[in-house]
Structure 1
Amino acid sequence: MYRRLQIIVELIARLLAIGGGAVLLCIVVLTCVSIIGRALVPLDIGLGPIRGIYDLTEIGMAAAIFAFLPWAQFNEAHARVDLFQPVMPKTMDRFLDLLFNVAMLVVAAVGTWRLYLGMQDKLSFGETTLIAQIPVWQGYAASLAGAVGFIIVAAFCVVRSGRRIAGFSD
């Protein structure tokens, strides 16, 4: 049962990270096209920068960052201070890992909840981006997919830490 859960959670984290990477690649391509278009403006051949590139970059970056959080959590790659880890007993280290993972689950849940409320707020007021007039709630919704994945992965990491304390291997 645990192994099946681990495979599913890893797949969720991996797919979100790949999606985030694809979004970043699209942003890079759009930015390059926009820069080339801006450079061609003096030639007066009808090409120019992409309208709203800043808006697209802002939304894409937010979505990509949230998409990477589950993968970082699954691989225990978040920044942490391991100054005393080499001299700590293994049991104490495992309890600290459990504490860290519970804290990350709380952060993921609260962050997702607030992101959802922010999306609802932007949706109810019909706010749009300044240049491209993209509805702002769409950026929140794109970020929410990664945030929900972050909760799922963080909850799994709490279970994984508990199993380590109980003496089960991964």
Structure 2
Amino acid sequence: MYRLIDTSAAWIARAIALLGGFVLIAVIIMTCLSIIGRTGTAIGLGPVPGDFELVELGVGFAIFCFMPWAQYARAHARVDLFTPAFSGWQNRLMDVVADLGLLVSAFIIAKQLRLGMLDKIQYFETSFILHMPLWWGYAAAMLGAVAWVLVAAFCLMRSSLDLAKGGEAYEQL
């Protein structure tokens, strides 16, 4: 059962990260085209209207898409100043505490993102130039935020089992 959950969490984290990467590449291409269009040297090209709005939307989406993979791969910033001084079980206990903290943080962020999205829907807020409903950006980011919560829950389970089994049964990525 553990392997199935592990495989599912890894698949979710990778798929969302790849989606965020594709969106980030699209934002980069759009930004380059907009800059080239502003120079007036390219025939038929002009600046992309609302380019900075699209960059905000795309980069925000990409950041949330990368969080589940960072969580799964244990790639978040860590301060390993004290870990050499602690025993194996103490380090595994710190992993459980850190994973619990990240799960709580991911849940709070997803919850607040949802509340922000509902607020934008209620007041019909739109972007300045493209007049895009602002809740679209929140909804897009929710995809990554929900995936982050799911993956963080798995990571807490993984580190808890690692602590319970003495670090033998479940290896890190």
TM-score higher than 0.5 here?
Answer: yes
User: Where do residues 2-151 of structure 1 align in structure 2 (5 Å cutoff)?
Assistant: 2-40=2-40, 46-151=44-149
What SS does the corresponding residue of 1:76 show, helix, strand or coil?
Answer: coil
- Cα-to-partner distance string for 1:42-63 (whole Å, 9 max, x where unaligned): x8x5531000000000000000
Measured in 1, the distance between the counterparts of 2:158 and 2:26 equals 35
- 3-state SS of 2:147 partner: helix
Which of 156, 159, 168 aligns to 2:157? It is 159
Q: Which SS does the other structure have where 2:76 is aligned?
A: coil
Please give the alpha-carbon distance, in whole angstroms, between the structure 2 residues aligned to 1:88 and 1:47.
60
- Tell me by how many angstroms 1:169 deviates: 2.1
Q: Runs (4+) of structure 1 moved beyond 3 Å?
A: none
Identity of aligned residues (%): 45
Deviations 1:18-47 (CA, angstroms, capped at 9, x unpaired): 000000000011001101111117x8x553
TM-score, length-scaled by structure 1: 0.96
TM-score (norm 2): 0.94
Per-residue CA deviation, residues 77-100 of structure 1 (Å, 9 max, x unaligned), is 101211011121111000000000
Q: Which runs of 5+ in 1 are unaligned?
A: none
In the comparison of the two structures, how many residue pairs are matched? 168
Q: CA deviation at 1:131?
A: 1.2
More helix by share: 1
